[in-house]
Structure 1
Amino acid sequence: MQYVNPPQSFMQDELVVVWNDGSLQLMELNPPDPWLADPKVQEDLEPGEVTVTYLTHACMEVKLGNKRMLFDPWLTGPAFARGWWLLHEPPADALERLCKADLIYISHMHSDHLSYPTLQTLSERHPDVPIYVGDTSRPVFWYLDRSGVKLTNINVVPFGVWQNVDQHLRFMILMDGVHPEMDTCIIVEYKGHKILNTVDCTQPNGGQLPHNVDLMMSDFAGGASGFPMTFSGGKYTEKWKEDFIKNERKKLLNYKAQLVKSLQPKIYCPFAGYFVEAHPSDRYIKETNVKNRAEDLNALITKQDPNITTWTPKPGAVLDLGLALRDPSDRNSITDPPPGTQIYKNSWNFDLYLNELNAAIHEEIFRHEDWIQFYYTWAGFKNYNLVVRVIETDDDFNPLPDGYDYFVDFLDLSFPRERPGSDRPYEEVRKATVWNVH
């Protein structure tokens, strides 16, 4: 399944590989540059006409004329069970801003972007606000009916088609080339000025993106809190984990810097990485899973291309796009939070959210051992030469006396009572009662 262009042939853009009910489909992004449809002439922006306010993590409020648009509102509670918590303290009026938004874009179903605790507040105050998601094969709101969150104006829109909001404002959702079934990104255009938000996409729009946008935003930190921290045995020593994480961080930093350099945005802002494994039981994860810093990425971009203006946002900070485009050195183009503003969270009210999570863990299904086989059979992953042992532990990763301890052989999807053969690829996963693997 390697993609190869014969020497001296015309170059075909790489096709997107999609699995659909067991069959393989190769999809061509067509047209590859859909944002070129119906081009608009850029008009001058007045001061204050287009502003971008950073709230927290991946949540930005974008004022575009008389419309306010919010991206990925995670403003309260945890993500990934108890695994992630907000690093930055959102502005005191963040939930008010959310409930007064004219439209909301949610990029994908991961809970640091699709936050049900946050959407619960929205559903109580403004349930009919227009929410836009891409037409992914895995619906973003697949859990909505069972969540208790009542939202009445969810719009699933096709990829690569302009959605007109008013005379000057439109947006377009694009799919990820690596995870087209789930991840999306967005281009927002106002009076011909483009804002590109690639969010968590690994290869946004298959790598085909607009150049010279006015503002580009992307993730920067890296995510998964489970692998390789919760793996043990064999090669998974502390030194191996440290080297692996360091190498992955470096690769991601260089990739993001090269992507920004190749696209030449006028302004670049790293976001969607301001989270922390704050719960005391995840201290080992937090200390081991070291993240990239936004400041380091911006420094690397500036070193490679000083013509690109970079912005490291703080909660409540505001970028005035019109002023920034006129003069990138204008200090008035960015308004920082007032002195004394709390930037980092120092409490998370764990019990409020974890009581509900812990109640779910003790549901009837988890009391029966056959739920394990039911789950793996339902997932259907097999014909892969790997044996995994899963050990249920306490918060310090010590095995529970009466906890689950089982093997899964993915070659034939069997559940042996002992490890089958020392020559087989083998991994151990220790998981606490509330699993924090991303």
Structure 2
Amino acid sequence: MQIEFVNHASVLMTHGQVGLLSDPWYSGPAFHKGWRLLVETPEDRIEELLSRVTHIWISHEHPDHFSIGFFKRWGDVIRQRGIKLLFQDIDDQRVADFLRAQGMALTELTFGKAFDLGSGVSVTCLKDEFYDSALSVRMGDTHVLNLNDCAVRTPERAREIRDAVGTCDILLTQFSYAAWKGGRENRDWRAEAAREKLNNIRIQAEVLEPKTVIPFASFVSFAHQRNAYLNDAANRPEDVIEAFQAAPSRFV
């Protein structure tokens, strides 16, 4: 199997005939122009990428994970190529209704139940808090756990994940804060939030025992003039590398 980072919380996992893409947000702002990607993905790159995709998983409805602009722009390609969409089976049908209205093939994943994608690939969706979800992906002999920005902050919560799907070979997880953390004068709060994100990774790695950790889902900036100050304490990739130099897991 192979994992290819695309942008922000989006990776392409391939094995056999299956290409599983996560959370495609590649251009434009999110959260009322409050967020922007650090680098947008060129359209020729997206077109080539979709030629290798058989399934797209959407973790939750936040616009940096469920990009309406992406599905409107690339809807014809998704329909023509028969790409199947995966989303959590929940009572709130707004996301599902939108995707079906676009004429796309959608499977709603039952929490905790494995779903076969073919070619020796199966996925299990796990609920997290009110609206988020994680995805356990088994590709051949490799187990990938995509936590995106799920709130796995304590050993107890990490053990719940482990009890549900086991330890993993590869862990994908958020590495910096992604919400409002006080006014301009509250930098200490933001610095503490950044340290907490690194501690979350440490807890997740200790309990889930991955061989490799891929920190992602934080490649954005607070982009509006009213919130740009929130960038002042955000973790950078080099902060993650420095924090986990001696970790038993490999960080890439």
Flag whether TM exceeds 0.5 (same fold): yes
Would you say the 8 A contact 2:11–2:21 is kept in 1? yes
Q: Does 1:250 align with 2:215?
A: no
Match of 1:126 in 2: 78
Would you say the 8 A contact 1:257–1:300 is kept in 2? no
Would you say the 8 A contact 2:9–2:65 is kept in 1? yes
TM-score normalised by L of structure 1 = 0.51
> CA 1:292–1:151 in structure 2 vs 1: closer, same or farther (change >3 Å)?
farther
Match of 2:236 in 1: 293
- 1:42-57 residue pairs with structure 2 within 5 A? 50-57=1-8
Indicate the RMSD between aligned Cα atoms, in angstroms: 2.4
Would you say the 8 A contact 1:61–1:70 is kept in 2? yes
Per the TM alignment, residue 154 of structure 1 is displaced from its structure 2 partner at its CA by 1.3
Match of 2:220 in 1: 275
Would you say the 8 A contact 1:133–1:156 is kept in 2? yes
Would you say the 8 A contact 2:16–2:119 is kept in 1? no
Would you say the 8 A contact 2:112–2:124 is kept in 1? yes
- 1:339-418 residue pairs with structure 2 within 5 A? none
Q: State the one-letter code of the partner of 1:292.
A: N
> CA 1:257–1:294 in structure 2 vs 1: closer, same or farther (change >3 Å)?
farther
More helix by percentage: 2
Q: State the one-letter code of the partner of 1:308.
A: S
> Which of 4, 13, 16 is 1:65 aligned to?
16
Distance in 2, Cα, partners of 1:299 & 1:258: 17
Per the TM alignment, residue 206 of structure 1 is displaced from its structure 2 partner at its CA by 4.3
Per the TM alignment, residue 270 of structure 1 is displaced from its structure 2 partner at its CA by 0.4
Per the TM alignment, residue 97 of structure 1 is displaced from its structure 2 partner at its CA by 1.3
TM-score normalised by L of structure 2 = 0.86
> Which of 288, 291, 309 is 2:250 aligned to?
309
Distance in 1, Cα, partners of 2:20 & 2:115: 13
Deviations 1:391-416, CA, capped at 9 Å, x for gaps: xxxxxxxxxxxxxxxxxxxxxxxxxx
Deviations 1:267-287, CA, capped at 9 Å, x for gaps: 000000001133xxx245223
- 1:146-157 residue pairs with structure 2 within 5 A? 150-157=102-109
Per the TM alignment, residue 65 of structure 1 is displaced from its structure 2 partner at its CA by 1.6
Distance in 1, Cα, partners of 2:103 & 2:205: 36
Distance in 1, Cα, partners of 2:203 & 2:24: 28
Per the TM alignment, residue 112 of structure 1 is displaced from its structure 2 partner at its CA by 0.2
- Structure 2: unaligned runs, 5 residues or longer: none
Distance in 2, Cα, partners of 1:184 & 1:171: 12
> CA 1:206–1:99 in structure 2 vs 1: closer, same or farther (change >3 Å)?
farther
Distance in 2, Cα, partners of 1:310 & 1:121: 34
Deviations 1:357-392, CA, capped at 9 Å, x for gaps: xxxxxxxxxxxxxxxxxxxxxxxxxxxxxxxxxxxx
Deviations 1:320-362, CA, capped at 9 Å, x for gaps: xxxxxxxxxxxxxxxxxxxxxxxxxxxxxxxxxxxxxxxxxxx
Would you say the 8 A contact 2:174–2:197 is kept in 1? no
> CA 1:52–1:111 in structure 2 vs 1: closer, same or farther (change >3 Å)?
same
> CA 1:213–1:142 in structure 2 vs 1: closer, same or farther (change >3 Å)?
closer
Per the TM alignment, residue 129 of structure 1 is displaced from its structure 2 partner at its CA by 1.9
3-state SS of the aligned residue for 2:144? Answer: strand
Q: Does 1:222 align with 2:190?
A: no
Per the TM alignment, residue 297 of structure 1 is displaced from its structure 2 partner at its CA by 2.1
More strand by percentage: 2
- Aligned pair count reads 242
3-state SS of the aligned residue for 1:61? Answer: strand
Would you say the 8 A contact 1:71–1:106 is kept in 2? yes
Distance in 2, Cα, partners of 1:159 & 1:263: 19
3-state SS of the aligned residue for 2:118? Answer: coil
> CA 1:149–1:227 in structure 2 vs 1: closer, same or farther (change >3 Å)?
farther
Per the TM alignment, residue 167 of structure 1 is displaced from its structure 2 partner at its CA by 4.4
> CA 1:93–1:264 in structure 2 vs 1: closer, same or farther (change >3 Å)?
same
Would you say the 8 A contact 1:55–1:94 is kept in 2? no
Q: Does 1:87 align with 2:38?
A: yes
Distance in 2, Cα, partners of 1:175 & 1:160: 8
- Percent sequence identity over aligned pairs: 23
> CA 1:104–1:65 in structure 2 vs 1: closer, same or farther (change >3 Å)?
same
- 1:90-169 residue pairs with structure 2 within 5 A? 90=41, 92-98=44-50, 100-127=52-79, 128-139=82-93, 141=95, 144=98, 150-169=102-121
